[in-house]
Amino acid sequence: PVLSAEEAKRLGVELVSFDELLTRADLISIHTPLVPSTKYLFNDAAFAKMKKNALLMNAARGGIVEEAALVRALESKKIRGAALDVFEKEPLAADHPLLKLDNVVLAPHLGASTDEAQERVGVQIAHQIVAYLKHGTIENGVNVPSLSGDAAQKLAPHLEVARRLGRLLAQLAGGAREIRVTAYGELA
């Protein structure tokens, strides 16, 4: 997870593995980008682990939920229901199997399409940029963990080393498809 144990404690949430989440949750609301590791994150195997009364909500990105697997899970009552406003291919075809189910709520993908939502997003981004420039605080980063100003200061020397190593690796490897970094110890 991108959330640190310290931040989770501050927010009063418990960090669990994905498999544990599937077996324990009554409602799963998806809030993750679509990247190779999240493509079809919710598939037949995931639905098989979920509670029979579980509800799934996806307003994040189409493709995180494998729609054919979701249809099978809903038809066989492996899960109780789902609500979606994002789909693998938008808009949904008129004959899409999800449209025939009564235990799913479907809405068109609206995202941040209202003027008010766009303004709020712009203001929020401006505040986040100011926080980063003033304090080094990173909020809602797509490819970096969120860091408080204190954590950013503490990690700054290590992040600089990581940045330089990344540049070196990019020159040496020339087009690596995936790089994994595992951190251990006090700063992890």
From the centroid of its chain, how far is CA 34?
A: 7
Residues facing 105 on adjacent strands: 83
Q: Does residue 30 sit in helix, strand or coil? A: strand
Set 72, 80, 96, 109: catalytic member: 109
Set 6, 14, 75, 90: catalytic member: 90
Alpha-carbon span 63 to 58, nearest angstrom = 10
Residues facing 58 on adjacent strands: 30, 84
Identity at 80, one-letter amino acid code: R
First-to-last CA distance in the chain?
12
Q: Residue 136 has which token pair?
A: 């080094």
Alpha-carbon span 131 to 37, nearest angstrom = 29
CB atoms within 10 A of CB 99: 11
Annotated catalytic, 61?
yes
Residues tagged active-site: 61, 90, 109
